[in-house]
Amino acid sequence: MKYICPLIVVSDIQRSRNFYENVLNQTVSEDYGENLVFEGGFSIHLEAHYKGLIMQKPINKGGNNVELFFISDALDELQERLKGLGVEWIHEIRTEPWGQRVLRFYDPDAYIIEVGEPI
């Protein structure tokens, strides 16, 4: 068995694609319409389509139990850009106990996005 990637379910595929491409500089490597795979190793799937795959079981987003983690050499610049975009913050830049500077905010479907500086 080979692990491929995490998948998050999104309510609007185009809105999420724009967010990940334009805010977090991610590039789509595979486009299947209802499902996109990014070069960074994660996938987004349209909720309306995905529900059919899981027998219409409920999808609970925004539970603060899923996080996508990114690394950036330009954390301060990213924070300023995010402020201008009006993202919903969890917290701005802070230093974690292990010495890494990170910030956290929500994507359009309330998944946690963490961006940290390289350690």
pLDDT score for 60: 85
pLDDT score for 62: 81
Q: Which residue, among 88, 89, 104, 97, has the nearest Cα to 119 in the 3D structure?
A: 97
pLDDT score for 63: 85
Q: 61: which residues sit within 8 A by CB, 6+ positions away? A: 9, 11, 109, 110, 111
Q: Which fold has domain 1-59?
A: 2,3-Dihydroxybiphenyl 1,2-Dioxygenase; domain 1 (3.10.180)
Per-residue pLDDT of the chain (119 residues; tens, 9 = 90+): 999 999 999 999 999 999 999 999 999 999 999 999 999 999 999 999 999 999 989 888 888 899 999 999 999 999 999 999 999 999 999 999 999 999 999 999 999 999 999 99
Q: Where in the chain is the domain with CATH 3.10.180.10?
A: 1-59, 61-119
* 74: number of Cβ within 10 Å: 11
CATH of domain 61-119: 3.10.180.10
pLDDT score for 100: 98
Angle value at C-alpha 70, between 85 and 40, nearest 5 degrees = 105
